[in-house]
Chains A and B, each alone.
Chain A
């Protein structure tokens, strides 16, 4: 089955630790995205990548980092510089022909 996988589903982090969230897709999509979702707010774009080895900051990139070494993979690192990291993180990918973004199941990060 084609789709997007994110792991882990739940992640707990102590303050001061960096953590990496995984996102893999087998849809052969060129573009991949990371969003953050907080209660009562719309999804906010953290980073996006339109092609391998290239990525750009979104609206709320501070305290986050990404890499895009393979077309299928777009991991997100939440660093200790992110002041309020507790949130639901969503990865998406899109075909550049249709612009429709398809989402993974999400990772819920909780900082203890």
Chain B
């Protein structure tokens, strides 16, 4: 069974204080790793898909990287509007390759 563990559970940052979120996963074969942003009371918003180790993707102050066992979401010089819960999900290869397995998320709070 695919498993995803995100750490830390919560992260409090000062504006401009860069940091990283971790997503550790176990899957028999990786079809894709997905990052989403979720604001309170709203649906997740798609950020990135990573497919193979060594791949990196960037969007504004966010950069996602992937290894064979984990993914990092780096937040560079965060602003208060980056405050949200960040979700990681994996999709494995096989009979259940439609399915996303989600971590519990990391809640990021950025103070001005």
Q: Which of B21-54 contact A (CB under 8 A)?
A: 31-32, 34, 36, 41-46, 49
Interface size of A in residues (CB-CB distance below 8 Å): 23
Q: A40-B104, A41-B104 are in contact. Are A99 and B91 (CB under 8 A)?
A: yes
Q: Which residues 1-56 in A have Cβ within 8 Å of B in the complex?
A: 4, 6, 31, 40-45, 48, 50
- Measured CA separation A90–B36 after assembly (Å): 14
Query: Does the CB pair B43–A104 fall under 8 Å?
Result: yes
Question: Does A106 reach chain B (CB closer than 8 Å)?
Answer: yes
Evaluate contact between A100 and B104: CB separation under 8 angstroms. no
Take A99-B31, A102-B46, A103-B43 as given contacts and tell me if A58 and B99 are in contact as well, using a CB distance cutoff of 8 Å. Answer: yes
Inter-chain residue pair count (beta carbon < 8 A): 52
Closest residue on chain A to residue B91 by CB atoms: A99
Closest partner residue, chain B, to A94 (CB atom)? B98
A101 contacts B by Cβ under 8 Å: yes
Contact with B along A90-112 (1 / 0, CB 8 A): 10000000111111111010000
Set of chain B residues within 8 Å of A41, measured between Cβ atoms: 104
B29 → chain A closest CB, angstroms: 14
Given A100-B46, A100-B49, verify A43-B41 contact (CB < 8 Å). Answer: no
B102 close to A (CB within 8 Å): yes
Which residues on A are within 8 Å of B, measured CB to CB? 4, 6, 31, 40-45, 48, 50, 58, 90, 98-106, 108
Additional pairs, 10, CB under 8 Å, beyond known A45-B99, A100-B32, A105-B43: A6-B43, A42-B89, A43-B44, A43-B89, A43-B100, A100-B34, A101-B34, A102-B46, A103-B46, A106-B41
Listed from nearest, the 3 A-B pairs whose CB atoms lie closest are A42-B102, A103-B43, A43-B102
